[in-house]
Structure 1
Amino acid sequence: MAETQEIEELANKIACAARKSFLELFKNGERFYYCTFFTTGEGHAPSISAWSWEALTREATKQAIHSDRPAPEMADLIKWSYADSPYYCFGEENFADVYESFAKRPLIWTLENGEWHKELMLRLQAMEIALNMLDEEGLFSLNQPRDAICITVEIMPPEEINSQMALRLNNPSSPALQQWLVEAAE
């Protein structure tokens, strides 16, 4: 029971911070196709990243100027890269309470085998619940139809669990999810 309460409290804090960040981001009116919470295998507090079709065109053109690749090829390379997005760590200032809550949690690398995995899964579950909460509010259909955007919780570097969470967070027949599964999933 205590663990369920911990997960819910953490999920609520994450959702509150992410709601502020995504609402601010979505004011730009761009059509988003990818929004993610990303973390590490150590289960650090999540950050957000996102891609819109407009941002992808701008960034691919910009990066192509400084490389030997044409913009369309560059777009294919960065399309699902949380780190290459101009919206990497967007609204980070809204996550102060989340960072504080994660800092109060046990340090994963100090836990024994089964305990570190349990703690990591608790954190990932809280992130997934937070995204589900925002999705149920209709947040991800503000600038585009919901099936046109893939929402994810991702461990970096990528792990297989990323695909499992993406499948739970999105309609399985969503074109955006199907594209992410083919182009980016582990």
Structure 2
Amino acid sequence: MKKRSASAPLAKTTNIDCWRIVVGITGATGAVYAIRILTILRHLGVETHLIISKWALATLKYETSMTEAEIRALSSRSYTAKDLSAPIASGSFQHDGMMIVPCSMKTLAAIRSGYCDNLIARAADVTLKEDRRLLLAIRETPLSVTHLENLLSLRRANAIIFPPVPAFHTGPESIEDIA
């Protein structure tokens, strides 16, 4: 696989079938966004590496009728959050970026402090260390001063802070249309 520059925007790359994206799902509400992203990436032929936290598994039961196996099947490869020996835990694993959708404040704090006690935090830490793109789709509100400081610190480390705010000007007919 040809390695792209970390600073090259995704939209400028035309050969998306060789993209390799790491996707983390945490326990914050908004799992529908992760499922939609995995579905789209699969349709586009993007290689995805999925990590689902234990709290995400609990939240998924309330937010979707899909089983864990069905969600994992949307990815090219999936890992447990405990598997710190997974290839994606190493900087030598080449990928085009990582997104954590949704990203809990617990995970955000772990990434900011470098406390890599699970594979999502470790893969995100490595993504930043290797100067690759990291997108954090935060879903929790209201935000405390601590949350805001963590967000600012990670933004300064070049993470993309992306709260998924629905676009109603497009005339969605259902909740699925905005996810």
Higher RCO (Cα < 8 Å, 6 or more apart): 1
TM over 0.5: no
| TM value normalised by structure 1 | 0.28
Larger Rg: 1
Give the TM-score normalised by the residue count of structure 2. Answer: 0.28
Q: More helix by proportion, 1 or 2? A: 1
More strand per residue: 2
